Amino acid sequence: MVSIQLDCRDPHRHLVGVRLTVSPQRRSLRLQLPCWTPGSYLIRDYVRHLEGLVATQGESPLALRRLTPSSWQLPCDPDAGPVTLTYRVMATELSVRTCHIDHQHAFLALAAVVLEVEGERWSPHRLTLLLPEGWTGFVPLPADPGGGWLATSFDQLVDSPVEAGPHRALSFDVAGVPHRWITWGACAGGEGWLMQRFPSLLDDVQRVCLRCCQLMGVERPASDGYLFVLHLLDDGYGGLEHDDSTVLVYGRQRLEQPQGYRRLLQLVAHEYLHQWNVRRLRPAPLAPIDYQQPAVVPSLWFAEGVTSYVDQLLPLAAGIGDAEALLVDLGEDLSRYRLTPGRHVQSLRTSAQEAWVKLYKADAYSADSQVSYYLKGAVVALCLDLQLRRDGSCLPAVLQQLWRSHGRCRRGYAEADLLQAFTDHSPALGSLLPAWLDGLDDPDLDGYLCDVGLRLEAEMASTPWAGITTTGQDGALVAQRVWRDGPAERAGLMVGRDGRVNVVEFNCRMGDPETQPIILRMKSDLLPLIEAALTGTLDKIDVEWDTRAALGVVLAAHGYPDAPRKGDAISGLPAATDDAHVFHSGTALAGGQMVASGGRVLCVTALGHNVKTAQQRAYEFAEPIRFDGMQLRRDIGHRALGARRG
């Protein structure tokens, strides 16, 4: 027996005091803190939050020797009584996989808190909590008659998150199995707002849970008692599955949106279904779990992708919502998938294998070279379901078979087991599924959707897409990324080290004096050319040009280029003619008066049968224009004229 006491009575310090007691069976003990938590595939180095580790036996201190950043060894005497370890864990990171404690609540992901004692992994672990007055602890473990909770093993303990605070538990049953719902709200209103805004929430959750059981072909949940913990924040989204519980994060801002409640129920369905798919119906590399090392799990596409597809169906199957909403959700997923360039770079199986180093470490450019196994996994699951239905079966039938063969007995499945289960129901999947997992081409979505009377139809975007993702920073528009193969990249743009867009090819802006004379020579309509540039089809457009020469004279502001002055009134602007235009590069209207508002204020541009006549016409056209401090060069075109004379 290993006893763990967690002291949360000083929440304003954000520290959890830990006291671990064990009776040693040998002359040395090895201790290690998990580096990650199942369901979240990233080495998180929880040891960075641990401080003040001390070991004693009786009244005697024991010398701890560090073996790795997250493991220690200490000498002890099996005949000298229990060994006690005390330490503290900083709890300031609010997520479903870390720890957070403040004056309102405590949430503890125990993989980030409890040391594993070598040789005691499969021994019972007793947990007790010391809490502030008025707080209640909620843990998805059986109660210990002596107080606290009792886990059958270290694995069950760290799979049991702790939520504590002045909370109330809402209860309901699913097929006779007790379920509890806890809401902690860091946003305005919290639980009260949630239940007032969505009074049918618990009834709807109950219906979704029951539908999960029916989908898996079972009469009751796999758990004997289930705990939902919802952290209702101003914004956020996510969840983490456990055998007998789930922790959800959801944003109030999302719930204010029309689809927000539906998405919350889908998140509930997703994590609840994991009670079967991934927790008990588990990939072989996760049976058992190595808490120190990453495990390569090629079948995460099945564990997460299939679950992501099914979670959209479950609320509708439970009688909540309508088919139109489901089609909207599927359409959004398929749009995100088709807008991910990385789907043609990284295969679905590789995405699952590289979860530890790519998906959970995504950056602004990840979509260029990666595809999420959640997203593409859901797309493949859709195709699997429709292929199975072609052959008289369905995806739930395969899930039920795998549950009977591997989940109920907790026998980890291999990739070959998945393929066999699918081909048992549809022989065609023997070749199709490996191609979808390892290939870079899209599945035949159009063909499968046609089977059920649907078709994919692209909609014209409401605004043109330039292929740049931007954000505001210090009053400036800063580029976060230039999309691979997008219009901006094809136009020669790149993001510099400071986040500003750098132009690889210059003299392409409409405001440049090199560009404006060319525009005057263009006889074709400009708008179709802009649209073709955005879609990358300029090579299919024929442009009609005026054969005459063009020349532009820039009229610059006072102080240009160092400190151009703004606000000087402009007069004498001539009306455009067939052979001369005035381009406004830096002007503004102030009280109905045209004024200078930039360095290069105007570009007077004219056409001529040769450079000389174009030059003469441009200066002639500029003659009546006046504003204080106006500057212009009188030698525009001299290089071209000199070259022609030479």
Residue 41 · residue 297 · CB < 8 Å: yes
Residue 242 to residues 37, 139, 140, 456, Cα–Cα distance (Å): 10, 12, 9, 36
- Residue 353 structure tokens: 């294998």
Tens digits of per-residue pLDDT, 90-114?
A: 999 999 999 999 999 999 999 999 9
- In angstroms, the CA 368 to CA 353 distance is 18
* Band (187; pLDDT cuts 50, 70, 90): low
* Cα–Cα nearest to 148, from 139, 156, 157: 139
Residue 4: its pLDDT value, please? 99
* Band (646; pLDDT cuts 50, 70, 90): very low
Residue 389 to residues 279, 398, 497, Cα–Cα distance (Å): 27, 11, 51
Tens digits of per-residue pLDDT, 114-156?
A: 999 999 999 999 999 999 999 999 999 999 998 999 999 999 9
**Taking the CA of residue 170 as centre, how many other CA atoms within 13 Å lie in the half-sphere pointing to its CB?**
18
3-state helix/strand/coil string of 582-642: EEECCEEEECCEEEECCCEEEEEEEEECCHHHHHHHHHHHHCCCECCCCECCCCCCHHHHH
Of 38-52, 169-183, 485-499, least confident by mean pLDDT is: 485-499
Q: Looking at the DSSP assignment, which residues form a beta bridge with residue 143?
A: 149
* Cα–Cα nearest to 253, from 185, 176, 315: 185
Residue 634: its pLDDT value, please? 92
* Band (474; pLDDT cuts 50, 70, 90): low
Over range 143-170, report the average pLDDT: 97
Q: What are the helix (H) ranges across 462-560?
A: 487-490, 515-521, 526-535
Structural domains in the chain plus CATH codes: 2-167 (2.60.40.3650), 287-451 (1.10.390.10), 468-503 (no CATH), 515-645 (3.90.600.10)
Give the residue carrying structure tokens 């993989």: 111
**What does the mean pLDDT of the chain come to?**
93
Q: Residue 171 above 90 pLDDT?
A: yes
Residue 323 to residues 315, 329, 332, 393, Cα–Cα distance (Å): 10, 10, 14, 21
Tens digits of per-residue pLDDT, 552-603?
A: 999 999 999 889 999 999 999 999 999 999 999 899 999 899 999 989 999 9
Tens digits of per-residue pLDDT, 83-93?
A: 999 999 999 99
- Edge-to-edge strands, sheet with 237-241: 170-174, 177-185, 226-233, 245-251, 237-241
* Cα–Cα nearest to 370, from 359, 357, 356: 359
Tens digits of per-residue pLDDT, 349-368?
A: 999 999 999 999 988 789 99
- Residue 222 structure tokens: 């796999």
- Cβ of 462: how many Cβ atoms within 10 Å? 5
- In angstroms, the CA 76 to CA 63 distance is 9
Q: Residue 550 above 60 pLDDT?
A: yes
Residue 515 · residue 507 · CB < 8 Å: yes
Who contacts 460 (Cβ-Cβ below 8 Å, separation ≥6)? none
Give the residue carrying structure tokens 């054969």: 547
Residue 505: its pLDDT value, please? 47
Residue 37: its pLDDT value, please? 96
**Taking the CA of residue 202 as centre, how many other CA atoms within 13 Å lie in the half-sphere pointing to its CB?**
19
Tens digits of per-residue pLDDT, 278-306?
A: 999 999 999 999 999 999 999 999 999 99
Q: Residue 501 above 70 pLDDT?
A: no
Over range 503-516, report the average pLDDT: 63
Residue 417: its pLDDT value, please? 98
Residue 209 · residue 228 · CB < 8 Å: no
* Three-class DSSP category at 227: strand
The percent of residues above 70 in pLDDT, for the chain, comes to 95
Tens digits of per-residue pLDDT, 43-91?
A: 999 999 999 999 999 999 999 999 999 999 999 999 999 999 999 999 9
Give the residue carrying structure tokens 């001390």: 54
Residue 9: its pLDDT value, please? 97
Over range 160-169, report the average pLDDT: 96
* Band (173; pLDDT cuts 50, 70, 90): very high
- In angstroms, the CA 298 to CA 134 distance is 46
On whether the pTM is more than 0.75, the answer is yes
- For residues 477 and 446, the model is more confident at 446
Instruction: Classify residue 365 as exposed, middle or buried by CB count within 10 Å of its CB (0-12, 13-18, 19+).
Output: middle
